Amino acid sequence: MRNFPKNEYGIITRELLQLINITPSDGGWYTCLRRQDYNTENFTTYLKVIGNEMSAVSAVKQTEILIPPKFTKLSSMHKGILKRNGNMMELKCESEGNPLPYIIWYKDRVAPLRRQSGGNITYTQWAIILNNLTTEDSGNYTCKVVNEKGIIFFTYKVEVKEHSLPMLYIKDVIPHDHTALLHSYVAFECQVKSDLEPYYIEWLYHNIGFKNVNDANLDDGITIQTSYTGYKGNSIGMELLKLINVTHLNEGWYTCVTVFGLKNINYKSVYLKVIDTLGGPKYNDFEFKVYYLIAPGISFVLIILVYVIIIVCCQKEKIELLELVAKQSDRNEMITQWTKKIIIEKLQITDDSESLVS
């Protein structure tokens, strides 16, 4: 706690703090604490110092008319808030007006705010932040924004639920194992399902020397992108990894890692392959040389083989034809011999018949 000597800053009593001859370094938050036995209550206000002039939060802009307070982001202020125990919560009531309004927070119509769990409450100019929520933090939180021209209210209905196991896991990384053209654009989206916040997202790269990504080599990856979520709501694109003008050096494993605390770690990997054209993968010069040397040899061998097959088939047909001709010749010769034999025997029988008649 900072002490304020009388001769420098003014007079301090138990209920009033007066600041004299303030400078820009005195700007900031001032909290009044009241301790009684084991209970502590506090109220916080903000002091803003403008230029060479003194100006508290409620200072009037002399060049403008007086304006009652109004909320500047009412469309983003949702009345119903559902949280899980262990998460953090930030409630905002950003406002404007002239004089610049100040804000008072109530829980269930009681101020100042107190947490039964004993946790801390962080105050900013227009918001409160509660970390490590418990079910006792459920209730109606009301911001009362005040200046001399008016008062406005807004109430958040907060419900903090318990859960047996924290839910934080990676649903998917899309696209899955992907093939991309050289110098093209690639984007991987890590789809995270979580009721825990804040959690931490990290993208790791493992080169083509790794066959896969597992628990043993996860830490060997190179961190290429990190982000947080939960403190200010989900930032657009924080779970998206963009690769522009990819080259063959970008080929490898890309792993989305989510972290909450020290033990809740999840990861999922996809593989990116980079090719020169849509026709297929890139071949190096050695592969092309081997191809051009082997291809003519294979073609020559195939031609010779076909030629030999044709010759063998023709030779076989020729042999079969010669054998057929030879068999036909032998048959004709046998028929001729039998014919001659029959004629000779017939002539002999005729001669014998004539001799008998004589």
Tokens describing residue 291: 């191809």
Tokens describing residue 202: 């990290």
196 within 8 A of 167, measured Cβ to Cβ: yes
| pLDDT above 80 for 30 | no
For residue 229, tell me if it sits in a domain: yes
| pLDDT above 70 for 148 | yes
Tokens describing residue 275: 């090719």
Using DSSP, state whether 98 is helix, strand or coil. strand
Final residue before a domain boundary, out of 164, 182, 214: 164
Residue 169 or 312, more confident = 312
Q: Do 159 and 172 reside in the same domain of the chain?
A: no
131 within 8 A of 53, measured Cβ to Cβ: no
257 within 8 A of 228, measured Cβ to Cβ: no
Q: Kindly provide the b/e burial profile for residues 238-247, where b requires at least 16 CB atoms within 10 angstroms of the residue's own CB.
A: ebebebeebe
Beta-strand relationship, 28-36 and 67-71: unpaired
The torsion angle over the Cα atoms of residues 67, 69, 74 and 80, rounded to 10 degrees, is: -160
For residue 80, tell me if it sits in a domain: yes
Contacts of 221 (CB under 8 A, 6+ apart): 204, 205, 206, 213, 253, 255
pLDDT, position 128: 94
> What whole-number distance in Å separates Cα of residue 191 and Cα of residue 266?
12
> What whole-number distance in Å separates Cα of residue 272 and Cα of residue 274?
7
Q: Do 160 and 173 reside in the same domain of the chain?
A: no
Q: Do 43 and 107 reside in the same domain of the chain?
A: no
Model pLDDT for residues 325-338, shown as the tens digit of each residue: 777 777 777 777 77
For residue 58, tell me if it sits in a domain: no
CATH code, domain carrying 216? 2.60.40.10
For residue 179, tell me if it sits in a domain: yes
Tokens describing residue 354: 């004539």
| pLDDT above 50 for 12 | no
Final residue before a domain boundary, out of 118, 140, 164: 164
Q: Do 128 and 177 reside in the same domain of the chain?
A: no
Contacts of 78 (CB under 8 A, 6+ apart): 156
Question: What is the reported pTM?
Answer: 0.38
Model pLDDT for residues 118-139, shown as the tens digit of each residue: 788 898 989 999 998 989 999 9
> What whole-number distance in Å separates Cα of residue 266 and Cα of residue 168?
8
pLDDT, position 247: 93
For residue 151, tell me if it sits in a domain: yes
User: Other CB atoms closer than 10 Å to residue 106's CB: what's the count?
Assistant: 17
For residue 317, tell me if it sits in a domain: no
pLDDT, position 5: 46
pLDDT, position 142: 95
Q: Do 132 and 180 reside in the same domain of the chain?
A: no
Tokens describing residue 66: 């007086």
For residue 28, tell me if it sits in a domain: yes
- Domain with 153, as residue range(s), is 71-164
Residue 280 or 139, more confident = 139
Model pLDDT for residues 236-269, shown as the tens digit of each residue: 345 789 999 999 999 999 999 988 765 668 899 9
pLDDT, position 286: 60
Final residue before a domain boundary, out of 110, 133, 164: 164
Question: How many domains, the chain?
Answer: 3
